[in-house]
Amino acid sequence: AQSVTQPDIHITVSEGASLELRCNYSYGATPYLFWYVQSPGQGLQLLLKYFSGDTLVQGIKGFEAEFKRSQSSFNLRKPSVHWSDAAEYFCAVRNNFGNEKLTFGTGTRLTIIP
Amino acid sequence: DTEVTQTPKHLVMGMTNKKSLKCEQHMGHRAMYWYKQKAKKPPELMFVYSYEKLSINESVPSRFSPECPNSSLLNLHLHALQPEDSALYLCASSQDSRASRNSPLHFGNGTRLTVT
Protein backbone atom coordinates (compact mmCIF):
# COMPACT_ATOMS: atom_id res chain seq x y z
CA ALA A 1 0.00 0.00 0.00
CA GLN A 2 1.12 3.53 -0.65
CA SER A 3 2.14 5.76 2.23
CA VAL A 4 3.59 9.20 2.80
CA THR A 5 5.84 10.42 5.60
CA GLN A 6 6.38 14.02 6.57
CA PRO A 7 9.10 13.86 9.22
CA ASP A 8 8.72 17.43 10.46
CA ILE A 9 5.59 18.15 12.49
CA HIS A 10 6.37 21.84 12.97
CA ILE A 11 8.90 24.16 11.33
CA THR A 12 9.62 27.78 12.22
CA VAL A 13 11.29 30.03 9.66
CA SER A 14 12.14 33.71 9.61
CA GLU A 15 10.42 35.83 7.01
CA GLY A 16 12.62 36.09 3.95
CA ALA A 17 14.51 32.89 4.71
CA SER A 18 14.46 29.82 2.52
CA LEU A 19 12.23 26.85 3.22
CA GLU A 20 12.34 23.13 2.61
CA LEU A 21 9.59 20.76 3.74
CA ARG A 22 10.35 17.08 3.54
CA CYS A 23 8.17 14.34 2.10
CA ASN A 24 9.02 10.68 1.62
CA TYR A 25 6.73 8.20 -0.08
CA SER A 26 6.50 4.47 -0.15
CA TYR A 27 5.22 2.98 -3.37
CA GLY A 28 6.46 0.34 -5.82
CA ALA A 29 6.21 2.35 -9.02
CA THR A 30 6.29 6.05 -9.81
CA PRO A 31 3.35 7.55 -8.00
CA TYR A 32 1.45 10.72 -8.57
CA LEU A 33 2.63 13.25 -5.96
CA PHE A 34 0.99 16.41 -4.74
CA TRP A 35 1.58 19.20 -2.26
CA TYR A 36 -1.40 20.94 -0.70
CA VAL A 37 -1.57 23.92 1.67
CA GLN A 38 -4.28 24.53 4.25
CA SER A 39 -4.79 27.81 6.06
CA PRO A 40 -6.67 27.71 9.38
CA GLY A 41 -10.35 26.93 8.93
CA GLN A 42 -9.98 26.54 5.18
CA GLY A 43 -9.96 23.75 2.67
CA LEU A 44 -6.86 22.46 0.92
CA GLN A 45 -5.32 24.29 -2.01
CA LEU A 46 -3.12 22.53 -4.54
CA LEU A 47 0.40 23.98 -4.71
CA LEU A 48 1.87 21.63 -7.32
CA LYS A 49 1.87 18.09 -8.63
CA TYR A 50 4.23 15.59 -10.24
CA PHE A 51 3.48 12.52 -12.32
CA SER A 52 6.19 12.31 -14.98
CA GLY A 53 8.75 14.32 -16.92
CA ASP A 54 10.94 17.02 -15.45
CA THR A 55 11.66 16.13 -11.85
CA LEU A 56 11.66 19.78 -10.75
CA VAL A 57 8.12 21.13 -10.79
CA GLN A 58 7.00 24.67 -10.30
CA GLY A 59 3.86 25.55 -8.43
CA ILE A 60 1.85 28.51 -7.32
CA LYS A 61 2.96 31.13 -4.80
CA GLY A 62 6.64 30.68 -5.69
CA PHE A 63 6.87 27.07 -4.49
CA GLU A 64 8.73 24.29 -6.24
CA ALA A 65 9.33 20.61 -5.50
CA GLU A 66 11.86 18.08 -6.68
CA PHE A 67 11.10 14.41 -7.24
CA LYS A 68 14.05 12.16 -6.36
CA ARG A 69 13.33 8.54 -7.17
CA SER A 70 16.55 7.29 -5.54
CA GLN A 71 15.52 8.85 -2.24
CA SER A 72 11.76 8.32 -2.59
CA SER A 73 11.37 11.98 -1.81
CA PHE A 74 9.34 14.91 -3.04
CA ASN A 75 10.51 17.90 -0.98
CA LEU A 76 8.85 21.28 -1.21
CA ARG A 77 11.00 24.42 -1.39
CA LYS A 78 10.64 28.16 -1.48
CA PRO A 79 13.60 30.54 -1.73
CA SER A 80 12.10 33.31 0.41
CA VAL A 81 9.05 32.85 2.61
CA HIS A 82 6.41 35.46 3.32
CA TRP A 83 4.32 35.82 6.48
CA SER A 84 1.31 34.71 4.46
CA ASP A 85 2.93 31.31 3.90
CA ALA A 86 2.19 30.33 7.51
CA ALA A 87 -0.13 27.33 7.18
CA GLU A 88 -0.30 23.54 7.29
CA TYR A 89 1.33 21.74 4.38
CA PHE A 90 0.34 18.26 3.27
CA CYS A 91 2.18 15.96 0.90
CA ALA A 92 -0.05 13.39 -0.81
CA VAL A 93 0.42 10.37 -3.05
CA ARG A 94 -1.88 8.59 -5.43
CA ASN A 95 -1.08 5.31 -7.16
CA ASN A 96 -1.09 5.03 -10.94
CA PHE A 97 -3.43 2.08 -11.16
CA GLY A 98 -6.13 0.55 -9.07
CA ASN A 99 -8.29 2.68 -6.83
CA GLU A 100 -8.64 6.39 -6.70
CA LYS A 101 -7.41 6.91 -3.18
CA LEU A 102 -5.28 9.94 -2.36
CA THR A 103 -3.18 9.32 0.74
CA PHE A 104 -2.02 12.27 2.80
CA GLY A 105 1.00 12.67 5.00
CA THR A 106 0.51 13.86 8.57
CA GLY A 107 1.29 17.44 7.63
CA THR A 108 3.90 20.04 8.57
CA ARG A 109 2.83 23.21 10.33
CA LEU A 110 4.83 26.22 9.16
CA THR A 111 5.26 29.22 11.45
CA ILE A 112 6.84 32.41 10.14
CA ILE A 113 8.58 34.79 12.52
CA PRO A 114 9.30 38.44 11.67
CA ASP B 1 -12.37 31.65 -4.19
CA THR B 2 -12.86 27.91 -4.21
CA GLU B 3 -14.63 26.27 -7.13
CA VAL B 4 -16.13 23.66 -4.83
CA THR B 5 -18.85 25.12 -2.65
CA GLN B 6 -19.88 23.55 0.62
CA THR B 7 -22.85 24.46 2.78
CA PRO B 8 -23.30 25.14 5.57
CA LYS B 9 -19.97 26.49 6.77
CA HIS B 10 -20.79 25.58 10.36
CA LEU B 11 -23.27 23.11 11.79
CA VAL B 12 -24.14 22.23 15.37
CA MET B 13 -26.38 19.24 15.86
CA GLY B 14 -27.58 17.02 18.64
CA MET B 15 -27.10 13.29 18.66
CA THR B 16 -30.74 12.65 17.71
CA ASN B 17 -30.84 15.16 14.85
CA LYS B 18 -30.83 14.50 11.13
CA LYS B 19 -28.93 16.95 8.99
CA SER B 20 -27.27 17.08 5.59
CA LEU B 21 -24.07 18.56 4.25
CA LYS B 22 -24.07 19.78 0.68
CA CYS B 23 -21.36 20.14 -1.91
CA GLU B 24 -21.53 21.57 -5.41
CA GLN B 25 -19.03 21.93 -8.26
CA HIS B 26 -19.46 23.25 -11.79
CA MET B 27 -16.10 22.28 -13.24
CA GLY B 28 -17.48 19.27 -15.12
CA HIS B 29 -15.67 16.90 -12.79
CA ARG B 30 -16.95 13.33 -12.69
CA ALA B 31 -15.42 12.23 -9.39
CA MET B 32 -16.44 13.61 -6.01
CA TYR B 33 -15.15 12.83 -2.56
CA TRP B 34 -15.96 13.23 1.12
CA TYR B 35 -13.12 13.58 3.59
CA LYS B 36 -13.19 13.95 7.37
CA GLN B 37 -10.51 15.99 9.10
CA LYS B 38 -9.96 16.10 12.85
CA ALA B 39 -7.95 18.91 14.40
CA LYS B 40 -4.23 18.78 13.65
CA LYS B 41 -4.68 15.65 11.51
CA PRO B 42 -4.64 15.02 7.76
CA PRO B 43 -7.88 14.51 5.87
CA GLU B 44 -9.19 10.94 5.93
CA LEU B 45 -11.10 9.60 2.95
CA MET B 46 -14.69 8.57 3.60
CA PHE B 47 -16.37 8.10 0.23
CA VAL B 48 -15.62 8.39 -3.49
CA TYR B 49 -18.23 8.79 -6.20
CA SER B 50 -17.23 8.18 -9.78
CA TYR B 51 -19.77 9.02 -12.49
CA GLU B 52 -22.45 9.33 -9.81
CA LYS B 53 -21.83 5.82 -8.53
CA LEU B 54 -20.31 5.03 -5.16
CA SER B 55 -16.90 3.50 -5.86
CA ILE B 56 -15.19 3.65 -2.47
CA ASN B 57 -16.60 3.45 1.05
CA GLU B 58 -13.81 3.44 3.59
CA SER B 59 -15.78 1.39 6.11
CA VAL B 60 -17.65 4.47 7.26
CA PRO B 61 -20.39 3.91 9.88
CA SER B 62 -23.91 3.85 8.50
CA ARG B 63 -24.84 7.00 10.42
CA PHE B 64 -23.10 8.74 7.50
CA SER B 65 -24.99 8.30 4.25
CA PRO B 66 -23.67 9.81 1.02
CA GLU B 67 -25.75 10.69 -1.99
CA CYS B 68 -24.80 11.93 -5.44
CA PRO B 69 -27.99 13.21 -7.15
CA ASN B 70 -26.09 14.32 -10.25
CA SER B 71 -22.56 15.00 -11.44
CA SER B 72 -22.46 18.45 -9.84
CA LEU B 73 -23.90 17.67 -6.42
CA LEU B 74 -22.81 15.59 -3.49
CA ASN B 75 -24.63 15.28 -0.19
CA LEU B 76 -23.73 13.70 3.12
CA HIS B 77 -26.71 12.79 5.26
CA LEU B 78 -26.08 12.63 8.98
CA HIS B 79 -28.16 10.79 11.54
CA ALA B 80 -27.56 9.78 15.16
CA LEU B 81 -24.03 11.09 15.22
CA GLN B 82 -21.70 10.88 18.19
CA PRO B 83 -19.65 13.71 19.72
CA GLU B 84 -16.50 12.08 18.34
CA ASP B 85 -17.86 12.72 14.85
CA SER B 86 -17.22 16.42 15.37
CA ALA B 87 -14.73 17.44 12.69
CA LEU B 88 -14.20 19.44 9.51
CA TYR B 89 -15.90 17.67 6.61
CA LEU B 90 -14.30 18.39 3.28
CA CYS B 91 -15.74 17.81 -0.14
CA ALA B 92 -13.50 17.50 -3.17
CA SER B 93 -13.83 16.85 -6.86
CA SER B 94 -11.52 15.76 -9.65
CA GLN B 95 -11.78 15.41 -13.40
CA ASP B 96 -12.07 11.65 -13.36
CA SER B 97 -11.05 9.36 -10.56
CA ARG B 98 -9.52 6.61 -12.74
CA ALA B 99 -8.66 7.75 -16.25
CA SER B 100 -6.98 10.97 -15.15
CA ARG B 101 -5.12 9.75 -12.14
CA ASN B 102 -2.86 12.78 -12.21
CA SER B 103 -5.91 15.02 -12.03
CA PRO B 104 -5.66 16.83 -8.72
CA LEU B 105 -8.45 17.07 -6.21
CA HIS B 106 -10.08 20.45 -5.78
CA PHE B 107 -11.30 20.98 -2.24
CA GLY B 108 -14.06 23.06 -0.77
CA ASN B 109 -13.57 25.05 2.43
CA GLY B 110 -15.41 22.45 4.46
CA THR B 111 -18.23 22.28 6.94
CA ARG B 112 -17.23 22.57 10.60
CA LEU B 113 -19.50 20.07 12.36
CA THR B 114 -20.04 20.00 16.10
CA VAL B 115 -22.10 17.20 17.64
CA THR B 116 -23.45 17.93 21.10
Question: Tens digits of per-residue pLDDT, A5-56?
Answer: 999 999 999 999 999 999 999 876 778 899 999 998 889 999 999 988 889 9
Over residues B25-45, the mean pLDDT reads 93
Question: Looking at chain B, how many residues does it have?
Answer: 116
Q: What's the half-sphere exposure (Cβ side, CA atoms, 13 Å) at A89?
A: 31
Q: CB B31 to CB A100 under 8 A?
A: yes
B107/A43 touch (CB, cutoff 8 Å), yes or no: yes
Contacts of A32 in chain B (CB under 8 A): 101-102
Picking from B2, B56, B104, the nearest residue to A99 by CB comes out as B56
**Is 80 exceeded by the pLDDT of residue A58?**
yes
Angstrom distance (rounded) from CA A71 to CA A84: 30
Banded model confidence at residue A100, pLDDT cuts 50, 70, 90 = low
Percent of chain A at pLDDT exceeding 70: 94
DSSP letters spanning B2-44: -SEEEE-SEEEE-TT-EEEEEEEE-S---EEEEEEE-TTS--E
Instruction: Show which of residues 39-78 on chain B sit within 8 Å of chain A, judged by CB atoms.
Output: 40-43, 45, 48, 50, 55-56
The residue with greater pLDDT, A98 or B45, is B45
Phi/psi for A57 (5° steps) reads: -115, 140
Does A90 contact B at CB distance below 8 Å? yes
Mean pLDDT in residue range B58-84: 96
HSE-CB for A61 with a 13 A CA cutoff: 19
Nearest CB to A42: which of B56, B92, B109?
Answer: B109
